[in-house]
């Protein structure tokens, strides 16, 4: 799901976050740091992996880094 939280208020965002584990066994979310804040991540307690996509504009490439 790409940017599922883009224009939701906090109430609707929380409700959606609570439903995500019911959507499928595996779900990939593409979000920005503004889409999901630290408190929102705590609600997604079944997250197994979290990755950060970093773009280097000088070298013209992107790097994927797993974060804890």
Residues of the chain with pLDDT under 70: none
Give the Å distances, CA to CA, from 63 to 3, 36, 45: 20, 21, 26
Q: What is the pLDDT of residue 63?
A: 92
- Pick from 52, 33, 50, 54: which is nearest to 62 by CA? 54
Contacts of 18 (CB under 8 A, 6+ apart): 43
pLDDT of residue 65: 92
Query: What is the pLDDT of the chain when averaged over all its residues?
Result: 85
Domain boundaries, given as residue ranges, for the chain: 10-67
> What per-residue confidence (pLDDT) applies to 7?
83
């Amino acid at each position: 799901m790409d940017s599922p939280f883009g224009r939701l208020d906090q109430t609707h965002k929380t409700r959606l976050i609570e439903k995500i584990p019911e959507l499928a066994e595996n779900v990939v979310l593409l979000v920005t740091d503004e889409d999901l804040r630290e408190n929102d991540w705590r609600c997604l307690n079944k997250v197994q992996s979290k990755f950060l996509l970093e773009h280097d504009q000088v070298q013209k490439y992107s790097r994927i880094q797993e974060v804890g």
